[in-house]
């Protein structure tokens, strides 16, 4: 516990008096609670914790751990996906004594987190969304993610019922598999209502570019899209801009309905509290942490925002029915016969990829009906 | 095809709309920096001022319910930042570029610190004037919703261009910027002039920030600026310290920035990273085309630490 008295940026910032008092107390009575002295969990976010989006969803999950007695949660926000994140991880381990670290952003995984895994073999690292591979990656690394594409499928169902122009819009950050799956799921959900619906996608190239996201939303509305959703770190700007132009919106990451109460249809949200509590329970019990954790709506990893006032009765019905189907587990969004928007066959007739199918995590195509390109 | 589809016309329309929507912060920051640099100082801290102005405007608008009070507060905060820069730089051997970088980090950090509680609440926006009423096409109407600040920026650039040539104040700023010795010989105090010029520059940058958070994109987040303040400072050199040039360069940047999303929206989806680089490629081309090995940068104030 002497570590407590070394200079840590985070602790210095946090407080002085209260922190020091705590440190003294636990130094004097080092074995107050069996795991209290040893268990610190670190969370690293790429953006601000209250961004109405990706980081907020993770921070809400981390906040749910704070009530666990004896567990210390350390957090750092606005950490770039560069060597900076390695420094943050190192300081969390050396100065705060973290034994489990959650670097939550996609770009933290390779090479940054992997380098730290080699350097600190006794510390556990679990990364959100990264592809952990037993053959390639160390055993103290791992990844967790949720089948949020299911949520985007449900978004699509509601969007398909609500759209009058039969054109949907999607503001996406980067063409990585998770984003592509969300785009495809959104369109396929809408096409389950009306197979003539198309979805225009605009990639902004970065996770958080407020002005470009606003421009993209405007461009989509200009081209006639009347339901917009997004996969960027903070959908706040997209939601507000789309609603301001009179289009409907589906949310992502967290519940954005307070931003556009009339225009918000529903949204695909994370429920990370569930996942983080699972990991911490394993850590406390001393059982090895799983290296590869996945779950969907049925597992409570993902949830939907309450349906908004603009959602009509037929949409509500199909939404509920589809949700009930998904809650059974193993729902397949990608099922044959299905072609990519370049004409390549991605699923032959009878072939289906259920939510847990690992092939979905290396998706590199947009399905027929999506107007856009992956490069 | 129904009335909501405009197809390829979306591209020029988006460039026009984008030029109007996106350019305003560039206009204000670059005009502010033009005044400062014309007086012989470089204030690189305007990125920080822009972010702090965005936060201040949003916070005050949330608390008072008036976006105009927010705008005034942002200008005031920017003025303070500018005066602070000007005051420190009057001491001998102080490097204005280094102070600017320090203030850039300080302004952003302070804005993040005070801005935390204001990320969630919703502030009232600055009003726009609908110039598109003559058209039945909603897209044209949306593109021609022009914010008052854009118009003020346009007028201001002409006024500044005129003032630098024809008014006593403008000539004083220029003589201080071109030669401290000449200014002193005329009985002017260069430090006072630069203090005021940097202060005004900061105030304008603060207004640019208010536009970001109170109009477009119209919310306060820590990533709101994504480097626009720095780009605007670079635009001043690009515009050769000419206020009219600043206005044109800002429009060019805004319009070129809208190209990427607009092309994707009409189905030109290949190579969007290249389109996103358009503003920078354009800048490079113009810089290369207008530079010459036989003379120094035209229009550069003689007292600037980069040209001395």
pLDDT tens-digit readout, B128-179: 888 888 888 888 888 888 999 999 999 999 999 999 999 999 999 999 999 9
Query: What's the rounded Cα separation, in Å, for the pair A261 and A16?
Result: 41
Q: What is the pLDDT of residue B296?
A: 62
Residue B120 contacts A, CB cutoff 8 Å: yes
pLDDT, tens digit (0-9, with 9 covering 90-100), for A280-311 = 999 888 889 999 999 999 999 999 999 999 99
Q: What is the pLDDT of residue B6?
A: 65
Structurally, at CATH architecture level, domain A34-146+272-295 sits in 3-Layer(aba) Sandwich (3.40)
**Spatial contact of A190 and A168, defined as CB atoms under 8 Å apart:** yes
pLDDT, tens digit (0-9, with 9 covering 90-100), for B257-296 = 888 888 888 878 778 888 888 878 887 887 787 777 766 6
Q: What is the pLDDT of residue A140?
A: 93
Mean of pLDDT values over B103-122: 90
In angstroms, the Cα distances linking B167 to B163, B170, B172, B250, B304 are 5, 5, 9, 25, 22
User: How many contacts, defined by CB atoms under 8 Å, are there between A and B?
Assistant: 139
**CATH placement of domain A149-269+302-371:** 3.40.50.2300
Structure letter (DSSP) for residue B215? T
pLDDT over threshold 70, residue A110: yes
**Percent of chain B whose predicted confidence (pLDDT) is above 70:** 95
Partners of A124 in the beta sheet? A100
Q: How far is B13 from chain A (nearest CA, A)?
A: 9
Q: What is the pLDDT of residue A72?
A: 92
Mean of pLDDT values over B294-306: 73
Most confident of A14-18, A196-200, B16-20: A196-200
Structure letter (DSSP) for residue A82? S
Q: How confident is the model at residue B13 (pLDDT cuts 50, 70, 90)?
A: confident
Partners of B128 in the beta sheet? B147
Instruction: Collect all residues of chain A within an 8 Å Cβ-Cβ radius of residue B258.
Output: 215, 219
Mean of pLDDT values over B1-25: 77
SS (HEC) of A202-237: EECCCCCCHHHHHHHHHHHHHCCCCEEEEECCCCHH
Cα Rg for chain A, rounded, in angstroms? Answer: 22
Structural domain spans, chain A: 34-146+272-295, 149-269+302-371
pLDDT, tens digit (0-9, with 9 covering 90-100), for B56-87 = 999 999 999 999 999 999 999 999 999 999 99
Residue B117 contacts A, CB cutoff 8 Å: no
Q: How far apart are the two ends of chain B, measured CA to CA in Å?
A: 61
Q: What is the pLDDT of residue A3?
A: 45
Q: How far is A361 from chain B (nearest CA, A)?
A: 23
Two structure tokens written together for A248 = 């409907």
**Spatial contact of A169 and A221, defined as CB atoms under 8 Å apart:** yes
Burial B79-106 (b: 16+ CB within 10 A, else e): bbbbbbbbeebeeeeeebeebbeebbeb
Instruction: Collect all residues of chain B within an 8 Å Cβ-Cβ radius of residue A221.
Output: 139, 142
Nearest CB to A203 within list B13, B228, B264: B264
Query: What's the rounded Cα separation, in Å, for the pair A34 and A37?
Result: 7
Kind of pairing, strands A124-125 and A100-103?
parallel
pLDDT, tens digit (0-9, with 9 covering 90-100), for A240-272 = 999 999 999 999 999 999 999 999 999 999 999
What is the H or E stretch that residue A41 is in?
strand A40-44
- B253 phi/psi in degrees, rounded to 5: -65, -45
Q: How far apart are the two ends of chain A, measured CA to CA in Å?
A: 50
- Asked if A259's CB is within 8 angstroms of B122's CB, the reply is yes
- Asked if A224's CB is within 8 angstroms of B219's CB, the reply is no
Q: How far is B31 from chain A (nearest CA, A)?
A: 20
pLDDT, tens digit (0-9, with 9 covering 90-100), for A71-87 = 999 999 989 889 999 99
Residue A208 contacts B, CB cutoff 8 Å: yes
C-alpha A16, offset from chain centre = 34
Instruction: Collect all residues of chain A within an 8 Å Cβ-Cβ radius of residue B218.
Output: 214, 237, 240-241, 244
Are A34-146+272-295 and A149-269+302-371 equal in CATH topology?
Answer: yes
Which value does ipTM take for this structure? 0.86
**Spatial contact of A353 and A332, defined as CB atoms under 8 Å apart:** yes
Mean of pLDDT values over A58-64: 94
Average pLDDT over chain B reads: 89
Longest dimension (CA), chain B: 71
pLDDT, tens digit (0-9, with 9 covering 90-100), for A138-160 = 999 999 999 999 999 999 999 99
Enter the pTM of the model: 0.85
3-state secondary structure of A58: helix
């Amino acid at each position: 516990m002497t570590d407590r008295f070394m200079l840590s940026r985070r602790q210095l910032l946090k407080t002085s008096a209260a922190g020091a008092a705590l440190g003294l107390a636990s130094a004097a009575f080092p074995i107050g609670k069996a795991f209290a002295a040893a268990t610190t969990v670190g969370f690293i976010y790429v953006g601000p914790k209250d961004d109405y989006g990706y980081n907020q969803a993770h921070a809400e999950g981390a906040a749910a751990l704070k009530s666990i007695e004896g567990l210390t949660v350390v957090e750092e926000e606005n950490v770039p996906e560069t060597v900076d994140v390695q420094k943050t991880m190192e300081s969390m381990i050396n100065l705060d004594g973290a034994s489990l670290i959650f670097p939550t952003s996609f770009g933290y995984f390779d090479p940054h987190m992997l380098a730290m895994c080699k350097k600190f073999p006794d510390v556990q690292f679990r990364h959100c969304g990264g592809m952990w591979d037993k053959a390639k990656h160390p055993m103290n690394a791992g990844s967790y993610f949720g089948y949020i594409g299911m949520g985007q499928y449900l978004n699509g169902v509601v969007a398909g019922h609500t759209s009058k122009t039969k054109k949907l819009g999607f503001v996406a950050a980067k063409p990585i598999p998770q984003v592509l799956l969300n785009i495809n799921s959104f369109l396929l959900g809408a096409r389950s209502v009306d197979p003539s619906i198309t979805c225009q996608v605009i990639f902004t190239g970065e996770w958080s570019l407020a002005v470009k996201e606003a421009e993209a939303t405007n461009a989509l509305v200009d081209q006639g899209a009347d339901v917009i959703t997004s996969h960027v770190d903070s959908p706040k700007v997209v939601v507000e801009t789309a609603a301001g132009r009179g289009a409907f919106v589906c949310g992502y990451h967290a519940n954005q309905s307070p931003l556009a109460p009339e225009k918000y249809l529903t949204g695909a949200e994370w429920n990370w509290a569930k996942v983080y509590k699972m990991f911490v329970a394993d850590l406390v019990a001393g059982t090895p942490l799983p290296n590869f954790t996945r779950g969907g709506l049925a597992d409570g990893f993902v949830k939907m925002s309450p349906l908004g006032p603009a959602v009509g009765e037929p949409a509500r019905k199909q939404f509920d029915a589809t949700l009930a189907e998904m809650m059974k587990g193993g729902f397949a969004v990608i099922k044959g016969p299905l072609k990519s928007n370049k004409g390549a066959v991605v699923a032959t007739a009878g072939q289906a990829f259920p939510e847990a199918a690992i092939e979905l995590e290396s998706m590199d195509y947009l399905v027929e009906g999506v107007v856009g390109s992956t490069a | 095809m129904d009335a909501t589809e405009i197809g390829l016309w979306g591209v020029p329309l988006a460039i026009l709309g984008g030029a109007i929507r996106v350019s305003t912060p560039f206009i204000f920051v670059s005009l502010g920096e033009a005044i400062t640099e014309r007086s012989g100082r470089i204030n690189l801290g305007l990125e920080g001022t822009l972010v702090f102005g965005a936060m201040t405007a949003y916070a005050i608008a949330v608390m008072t319910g008036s976006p105009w009070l927010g705008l005034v507060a942002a200008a005031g905060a920017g003025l303070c930042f500018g005066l602070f820069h000007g005051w420190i730089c009057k001491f001998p051997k102080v490097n204005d570029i280094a102070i600017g970088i320090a203030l850039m980090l300080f302004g952003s950090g302070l804005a993040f610190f005070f801005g935390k509680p204001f990320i969630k609440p919703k502030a009232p926006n600055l009003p726009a004037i609908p110039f598109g009423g003559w058209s039945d096409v909603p897209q044209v109407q949306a593109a021609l919703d022009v914010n008052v600040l854009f118009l003020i920026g346009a007028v201001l650039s002409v006024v500044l261009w005129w003032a630098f040539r024809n008014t006593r104040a403008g000539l004083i700023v220029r003589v201080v910027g071109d030669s401290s010795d000449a200014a002193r010989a005329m009985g002017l105090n260069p430090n006072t002039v630069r203090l005021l010029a940097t202060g005004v520059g900061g105030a304008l940058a603060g207004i640019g920030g208010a536009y970001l958070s109170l109009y477009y994109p119209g919310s306060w987040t820590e990533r709101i600026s994504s480097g626009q303040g720095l780009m605007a400072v670079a635009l001043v050199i690009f515009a050769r310290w000419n206020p009219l040039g600043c206005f044109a360069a800002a429009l060019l940047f805004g319009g070129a920035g809208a190209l990427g999303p607009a092309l994707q929206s009409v189905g030109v989806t290949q190579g969007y990273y290249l389109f996103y680089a358009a503003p920078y490629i354009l800048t490079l081309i113009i810089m290369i085309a207008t530079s010459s090995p036989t003379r120094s940068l035209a229009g550069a104030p003689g007292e600037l630490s980069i040209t001395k």
